[in-house]
């Protein structure tokens, strides 16, 4: 029997969990965008060491599972550095660095996808490399980048559930907690899944609509 009272009785805990999930989602997306922008530009740099740094960063964070990054930064990094790292900081930084690598790849691909003739035309008019990037390349690239950026951000919200592994009280963590004293995993985990669906289905639809007409501009 499905017992909805488990959910209504513990709505406050679920609500708190949801706020934590949303907080980490928004904060790590914002920080990740800054990191991704910097690393993406580094990957496009004409200066080899900077370009290599960008490449190494991206491959490093894309090839370690996020769960490993989270556990490592919370349990192993403090031992290496002899400092105390709270689970909040470990979670925030891990998720930010991780998604930054994916945003950087989206930026790089977006810029490299622009016809080289655009850069030629801007160069021939006497524009500097900075002006070419700001006035000609990025405005076109960002339009193409929006759908994959939204898609990656949706994945990021789902990835925050891994925070429960380092006991950050996110939505999934609160669900597990409720389930542990009510013995009603069916109701609780169904509720957690439903909350994600309610938030992410409209965003996914939005991302799909953005892919439509915008992708056809060029």
> Which of 131/182 has CB closer to other proteins?
131
What SS3 class is residue 170?
coil
Task: Give the whole-angstrom CA distance, residue 96 versus residue 66.
Answer: 11
Structure tokens at 78: 């403090």
Give dist(CA 142, CA 210) in Å, integer. Answer: 12
CB under 8 A: which stretch of 17-25, 91-99, 136-144, 164-172 binds other proteins?
136-144
**Residue choice 8, 86, 129, 180 for contact with other proteins (CB under 8 A):** 129
- Residues near other proteins (CB under 8 A), total: 21
Binds other proteins by CB under 8 A, chosen from 51, 55, 87, 143: 143
Q: Output the smallest distance, CB 212 to other proteins, in A.
A: 17
Q: Please check whether residue 126 is in contact with residue 182, taking contact to mean a CB–CB distance below 8 angstroms.
A: no
User: Least distance (Å) from other proteins to the CB of residue 189?
Assistant: 46
Question: Any contact of residue 112 with other proteins (CB under 8 A)?
Answer: no
Binding test (CB under 8 A) with other proteins, winner from 3, 9, 112, 120:
120
Smallest separation, CB 123 to other proteins (Å): 6
CB of 124 to other proteins, least distance (A): 4
Return the range that interacts with other proteins (CB under 8 A); candidates 64-72, 94-102, 137-145, 163-171: 137-145
Nearest to 57 by CA among 30, 31, 81, 38: 38
- Spatial distance between the Cα atoms of 49 and 52, rounded to a whole number of angstroms: 5
Q: 65-104 mask for other proteins (x: CB under 8 A)?
A: ----------------------------------------
- Three-state secondary structure of 101-150: HHHHHHHHHHHHCCCHHHHHHHHHCCCCHHHHHHHHHHHHHHHHHHHHHH
Q: Work out which of 56, 67, 125, 155 binds other proteins, going by CB under 8 A.
A: 125
Structure tokens at 20: 């934590």
Is 186 in contact with 2 (CB distance < 8 Å)? yes
Q: Footprint of other proteins on this chain (CB under 8 A)?
A: 115, 117-118, 120-129, 131, 135-136, 139-140, 143, 217-218
């Amino acid at each position: 029997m499905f017992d909805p009272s488990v959910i209504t009785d513990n709505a406050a805990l679920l609500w708190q969990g949801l706020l934590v999930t949303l907080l980490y989602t928004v904060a790590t997306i914002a920080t990740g965008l800054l990191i991704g922008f910097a690393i993406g530009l580094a990957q496009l740099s004409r200066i080899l060491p900077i370009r290599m740094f960008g490449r190494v960063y991206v491959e490093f964070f894309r090839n370690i599972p996020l769960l490993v990054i989270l556990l490592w930064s919370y349990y192993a990094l403090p031992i290496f550095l002899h400092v105390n790292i709270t689970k909040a900081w470990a979670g925030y930084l891990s998720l930010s660095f991780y998604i930054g690598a994916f945003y950087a790849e989206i930026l790089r691909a977006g810029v490299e996808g622009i016809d080289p003739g655009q850069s030629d035309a801007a160069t021939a008019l006497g524009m500097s490399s900075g002006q070419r990037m700001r006035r000609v390349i990025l405005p076109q690239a960002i339009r193409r980048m929006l759908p994959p950026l939204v898609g990656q951000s949706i994945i990021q919200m789902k990835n925050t559930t891994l925070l429960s592994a380092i006991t950050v009280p996110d939505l999934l963590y609160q669900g597990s907690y409720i389930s542990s004293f009510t013995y009603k995993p069916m109701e609780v985990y169904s509720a957690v899944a439903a909350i994600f669906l309610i938030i992410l289905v409209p965003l996914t639809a939005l991302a799909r609509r953005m892919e439509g007409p915008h992708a056809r501009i060029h």
